[in-house]
A and B are shown apart, each in its own frame.
Chain A
Amino acid sequence: MALIRADGLSKGYRSGDSLVRALDGVSLDVPQGAFVVLAGRSGSGKTTLLNMLGGLDRPDSGSLVVAGHDVLRMSRDERAAFRLHHLGFVFQAYNLIRVLTARENVAYVLQLRGMEKRQRLALADRWLAEVGLQGFEHRRPDQMSGGQQQRVAVARALAASPDLVLADEPTANLDSHTGANLIALMRHLNEQQGITFVTASHDPSVIAAARTLVTMQDGKIVDLREG
């Protein structure tokens, strides 16, 4: 059974007098354990699709089932709870809560899920080590480089054992070397632990890492290739 089943997702918004179709009847099935990259130029609809898959945005029409949950029938709070228990996010930048240390940022989601303190701190430390940030536990975001911050974001996204990790341009603010390392890490976790990733990016190194490459244009999927 597919982890994500999106069918006919459409979303439009008004820009002046004209109607812009951000998504135009997008259908996509993503199986468990996939590493999907949504590629395409700016404005092609990849971030809109990613936000919809994460229950952050709602389509005008279509249906969407993620991890067996009909996301579009959920209330605002139900969607928040769904994200907390099933999803992990990595954004382009400003991924972390500024006043929390790396360890606290990772542990925060676990705390929201009600995990006991000692257990969540141990888990946070384990995931920080997993992403190569052992020794950085007590640093705040402004004491880390952009690449290190993104690694903390990946650790946070993965620490709660989500069904799906959604990443929006995770390498956009990183230099090519750091970006390549981050993608290698994500790919490693996908292969070793079977975690499902859906990543929106127009970075060639990310696109090259895709096991499933979805190319979008003008709100439509124009190409889908298995790597």
Chain B
Amino acid sequence: MLIYLQLGWRNLWLHPVRSALTAAALAVGMAALTFLSAMNDGWMQQIKGNFALTLTGHLQIHAAGFEQSRKLAQHIAEPDAIVQRIDGIAGIRQLVRRVRVSGLASSAGSNGGALIYGVEAADEREISRLAGFVQQGRWLLPDDVRGVVLGAGLADRLHVGLGDKVVLMASVSNGDIASEVFRVRGLLHSGVMDIDDLLAIIPLRMAQQWLGLGDAVTDIVIRADDFDTVDPLQQRLAQALQGQGLEILRWNDIDPMAQQWADFADAYTWVVLLIVILVVLAEVLNTMLMSLHERIREFGLMGAMGVRSSQLFVMVVWETMLLVMLGSLIGFLLGGGLAWWYGSRGIDLSQFAVAFSFMYMDPVIHPALQAASCLRILGAALIGALAAGLIPAWKAARLEPVEALREL
């Protein structure tokens, strides 16, 4: 094995300029790919994190069927008992109770559909970013039972501002329509259309009274330690709450959009990876075929000396692998280094902030290369090296020594 590596390495430097140029092309391609993957990973972490932290949390517990029907009749009657039952389960970082109902918001001048959330004002800050989106006025206070925070788009439609009155109307659990007057305390600017155009947030206790729910809630929203722990936590919760008539949904079950973004980005990265690898393969293949052509007589000589076809095959594959891995490793380190540098400092893309916030992205991107991406890039380079080596190796192996020796 050592002799193949030795021969391969030295053969590469028979034409140092050509090999260096090929390795440099590989390095540039791999560096770009690595940095792009790091950007993508950073984006995806942001999108998923922001998505979950904006509203949905990592997991939600509802009465079975609530997410589908959105009817108040399907509520969690004794949320404290449920919270007690899941207390101490590993992986729960924080949880809050909510009431969620679709309704109508009206002002003196206009009205429009609204998504009404009753929240625990203080605890909600720990689990979602809603309070942070308040750019005008203030977030809810626990003792301010008539306060409402509106999405800025909804407020515009209703032609209301801070301190104005708003009437919220919704169908309560027995089917009757109930309405209540609130006063606008704050306006949300999240950049996410569904939030800014629809959300009306009121204190939980008020929502429960107004909607005749008593102590009942519709959602118990859980923040997990991180995304990797969501699936096992869901299983543990399902086990603990078995037979309670509840559904336990993950963030991507509740709204698959962020997951679809992640899947799309993943597919996009695969396509870019494939294109880069194909270009690189063509470059390496060209170099190796030129090298093979120049050394045909040498291969004939080796065959005459008693080197078997399979040994020639392995030798050429090793030579290709060395070239590809050299370029790839340099490129990977360059791209990884660049990603690390920008990862700590961030890339400011605030000029696109409006478009980014629509996709739950921050205006500053922090590239963050994930282990899976590293494996994918290096694995693709390895497979690419093997693939690029196969044709010249096969050509070298099938050379007849007597024919090859005639070449000059």
Residues of A bordering B, CB below 8 Å? 51, 54, 56-57, 76-77, 80-85, 87, 89, 91, 94-100, 108-109, 111-112, 156
**A–B complex contacts, Cβ < 8 Å, 10 sampled:** A56-B303, A56-B400, A56-B401, A56-B405, A76-B309, A80-B303, A81-B306, A83-B306, A111-B3, A156-B305
Complexed CA–CA distance, A96 and B305 (Å): 11
Complexed CA–CA distance, A97 and B295 (Å): 10
Is residue B48 contacting chain A, with contact meaning CB distance below 8 A? no
B305 A112 Cβ-Cβ under 8 A: yes
A112 B307 Cβ-Cβ under 8 A: yes
Q: Which residue, A83, A95, A96, A99, has most C-beta atoms of chain B within 10 A?
A: A99
B308 A77 Cβ-Cβ under 8 A: yes
User: Chain B residues near A77 (CB, 8 Å)?
Assistant: 308-310
Residues of B bordering A, CB below 8 Å? 3, 7, 10-11, 14, 297-298, 301-311, 400-402, 405
Given contacts A56-B401, A57-B402, A108-B3, contact A99 B11 (CB under 8 A): yes
User: Chain B residues near A109 (CB, 8 Å)?
Assistant: 305-306
User: Chain A residues near B7 (CB, 8 Å)?
Assistant: 97, 99-100
Cβ-neighbour of B402 out of A56, A96, A111 (below 8 A) = A56
Nearest to A153 among chain B residues (CB) is B301
Given contacts A56-B401, A56-B405, contact A97 B298 (CB under 8 A): yes
Nearest to A111 among chain B residues (CB) is B3
Complexed CA–CA distance, A89 and B310 (Å): 21
Q: Give min CB distance, B142 to chain A, whole Å.
A: 79
Q: Give min CB distance, A137 to chain B, whole Å.
A: 16
Complexed CA–CA distance, A175 and B11 (Å): 30
User: Chain A residues near B308 (CB, 8 Å)?
Assistant: 77, 80-81
Complexed CA–CA distance, A77 and B312 (Å): 12
Given contacts A56-B401, A99-B7, A99-B11, contact A94 B303 (CB under 8 A): no
User: Chain B residues near A87 (CB, 8 Å)?
Assistant: 306
Complexed CA–CA distance, A100 and B301 (Å): 14
A98 B298 Cβ-Cβ under 8 A: yes
A112 B304 Cβ-Cβ under 8 A: no
User: Chain A residues near B298 (CB, 8 Å)?
Assistant: 94, 97-98
User: Chain A residues near B305 (CB, 8 Å)?
Assistant: 83-84, 89, 108-109, 112, 156
Give the top 5 A-B pairs by smallest Cβ distance, nearest first. Answer: A84-B306, A99-B10, A56-B402, A83-B306, A80-B308
Complexed CA–CA distance, A111 and B1 (Å): 11
B3 A91 Cβ-Cβ under 8 A: no
Nearest to B295 among chain A residues (CB) is A98
Given contacts A56-B402, A108-B3, A111-B3, contact A97 B306 (CB under 8 A): no
Q: 11 new A-B pairs (CB below 8 Å) besides A80-B307, A84-B306, A100-B7? A: A56-B303, A76-B309, A77-B309, A77-B310, A80-B303, A85-B306, A89-B301, A97-B301, A99-B7, A100-B10, A109-B306
User: Chain B residues near A57 (CB, 8 Å)?
Assistant: 402
Q: Give min CB distance, B396 to chain A, whole Å.
A: 14
B297 A94 Cβ-Cβ under 8 A: yes
Nearest to B297 among chain A residues (CB) is A94
A51 B402 Cβ-Cβ under 8 A: yes
Given contacts A80-B308, A91-B301, contact A98 B14 (CB under 8 A): yes
User: Chain A residues near B297 (CB, 8 Å)?
Assistant: 94
User: Chain A residues near B3 (CB, 8 Å)?
Assistant: 108, 111
A97 B302 Cβ-Cβ under 8 A: yes
Given contacts A80-B303, A97-B7, contact A91 B309 (CB under 8 A): no
A83 B14 Cβ-Cβ under 8 A: no
User: Chain B residues near A156 (CB, 8 Å)?
Assistant: 305
User: Chain A residues near B11 (CB, 8 Å)?
Assistant: 99
Nearest to A97 among chain B residues (CB) is B298
Nearest to B308 among chain A residues (CB) is A80
Nearest to B408 among chain A residues (CB) is A94
User: Chain A residues near B311 (CB, 8 Å)?
Assistant: 112
Nearest to A83 among chain B residues (CB) is B306
A99 B14 Cβ-Cβ under 8 A: yes
User: Chain B residues near A112 (CB, 8 Å)?
Assistant: 305-307, 311
Q: Which residue, B10, B305, B309, B310, has most C-beta atoms of chain A within 10 A?
A: B305
Complexed CA–CA distance, A134 and B23 (Å): 38
User: Chain B residues near A76 (CB, 8 Å)?
Assistant: 309
Nearest to A104 among chain B residues (CB) is B6
